């Protein structure tokens, strides 16, 4: 890693070292709210955008440059990794991702294929190399993947869900099938994230977007061992941001599963969340995304509240509690980044 990257504001915060101001990046920063993204998206399907390295690199780079954020995140999606594992994935207008051959029985899980040769995801690594070549020298690139539970829930439900009936039915009723699915997902995701790092990502984020539907007891039994195994299998020295949304009761267990940075959503005060995960890790978050619909004075006050909650402790990376929404005003998103950089100055020794 170059000295410029090592000493970047973002990576210093990951290591809980003092910074000149609070670093910020935003989940879904390359998204439909951004005119530059929509110009590219208007020419191709979403899946084509994900699988064309030239276009995926373009929207990744453009978002970082337009917003002035302290890290870029690879433009990709959680679910294409399921395609070579045997799932039929489509993105339907107005409905999002649909997998029309969901896993509902132990026999269905038998047809899931562990990926040993990551070349089938080569378009992702090509995108990483293109982005890394053109990013500013001091701007880290974040890679990512879905956590085992979240990917399993998509594969079992066939898409999003309100109550995760099918996923929980397999977890509770057929633990052998659940273990078999985890034993295919975990090594596949480990190779996938390691290959992203090898191609040029400095950090990876694991999204457990659906784990908030679980009780602490169920998370501990059915999820924690597998996420922990994934994180522990990654290359030594590769920082992991572990993000879970929907249930702050799970934060101590999220921390137990691992990660140098613990992502917090907006359902808890940042100071309380940091207490739950421990002050010996960095935290990321956690402005309510809907704050961006308020006027600028209110947005500024709410941004200040998050920064104040960090209390000047090294290791805070500003982000939303979840992703940017398609109807947000891009000028307000840019203003938010400027506010963080302004208000974060002096929050700790450099």
pLDDT digits (tens, 9 = 90+) for 198-215: 999 999 999 999 999 999
pLDDT at site 349: 41
For residue 314, CA distances in Å to 239, 242, 281, 317, 335 come to 16, 18, 10, 9, 23
Tens of pLDDT along 156-187? 999 988 899 999 999 999 999 999 999 999 99
Instruction: Please pick, among 77, 191, 208, 251, the residue that the annotation labels catalytic.
Output: 77
Structure tokens at 122: 């080569």
**Catalytic site includes residue 219:** no
Fold of 3-343: TIM Barrel (3.20.20)
Pick the closest to residue 59 from 72, 45, 78 (CA basis).
72
pLDDT at site 347: 46
Instruction: Please pick, among 33, 37, 154, 222, the residue that the annotation labels catalytic.
Output: 154
Instruction: Please pick, among 16, 33, 37, 41, the residue that the annotation labels catalytic.
Output: 41
**Catalytic site includes residue 43:** no
Strand partners, 145: 206
315 pLDDT above the threshold of 70: yes
**Catalytic site includes residue 41:** yes
Instruction: Please pick, among 20, 32, 174, 220, the residue that the annotation labels catalytic.
Output: 32
Query: For the chain, which residues make up each domain, given as ranges?
Result: 3-343
Tens of pLDDT along 98-119? 999 999 999 999 999 999 999 9
Buried b (16+ CB within 10 A) or exposed e, 319-332: bbbbbbeeebebeb
Q: What is the separation of C-alpha 16 from the centre of its chain, rounded to a whole number of angstroms?
A: 19
Full-model pTM: 0.96
**Catalytic site includes residue 272:** no
- Round to whole Å and give the CA distance between 118 and 140: 23
**Catalytic site includes residue 300:** no
Tens of pLDDT along 214-251? 999 999 999 999 999 999 999 999 999 999 999 999 99
Instruction: Please pick, among 28, 130, 132, 300, the residue that the annotation labels catalytic.
Output: 28
């Amino acid at each position: 890693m170059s000295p410029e990257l090592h000493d970047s504001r973002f990576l210093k915060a990951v290591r809980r070292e003092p910074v000149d101001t609070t670093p910020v990046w935003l989940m879904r920063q390359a998204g439909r709210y951004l005119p530059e993204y929509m110009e590219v998206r208007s020419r191709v399907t979403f899946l084509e955008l994900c699988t064309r390295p030239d276009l995926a690199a373009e929207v990744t780079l453009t978002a970082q440059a337009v917003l002035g954020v302290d890290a870029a995140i690879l433009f990709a999606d959680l679910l294409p990794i399921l395609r070579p594992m045997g799932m039929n994935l489509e993105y339907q207008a107005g409905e999002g991702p649909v997998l029309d051959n969901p896993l509902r029985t132990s026999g269905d899980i038998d047809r899931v294929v562990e990926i040993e040769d990551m070349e089938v995801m080569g378009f992702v690594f090509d995108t990483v190399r293109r982005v890394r070549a053109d990013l500013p020298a001091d701007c880290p690139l974040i890679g990512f993947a879905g956590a085992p539970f979240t990917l399993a829930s998509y594969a079992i439900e066939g898409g999003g869900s309100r109550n995760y009936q099918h996923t929980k039915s397999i977890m509770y009723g057929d633990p052998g099938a659940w273990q078999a699915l985890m034993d295919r997902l975990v090594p596949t995701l480990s190779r996938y994230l390691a290959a992203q790092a090898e191609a040029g990502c400095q950090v990876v984020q694991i999204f457990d977007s659906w784990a908030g539907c679980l009780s602490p007891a169920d998370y501990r039994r059915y999820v924690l061992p597998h996420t922990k195994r994934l994180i522990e299998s990654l290359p030594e020295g590769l920082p992991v941001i572990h993000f879970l949304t929907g249930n702050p009761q799970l934060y101590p267990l999220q921390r137990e599963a691992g990660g140098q940075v613990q992502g917090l959503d907006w359902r808890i005060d940042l100071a309380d969340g940091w207490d739950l995960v421990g002050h010996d890790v960095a935290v990321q978050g956690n402005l309510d995304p809907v704050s961006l619909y308020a006027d600028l004075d209110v947005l500024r006050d709410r941004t200040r509240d998050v920064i104040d909650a960090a209390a000047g402790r090294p290791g805070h990376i500003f982000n939303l509690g979840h992703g940017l929404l398609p109807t947000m005003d891009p000028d307000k998103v840019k203003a938010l980044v400027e506010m963080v950089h302004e208000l974060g100055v002096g929050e700790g020794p450099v």
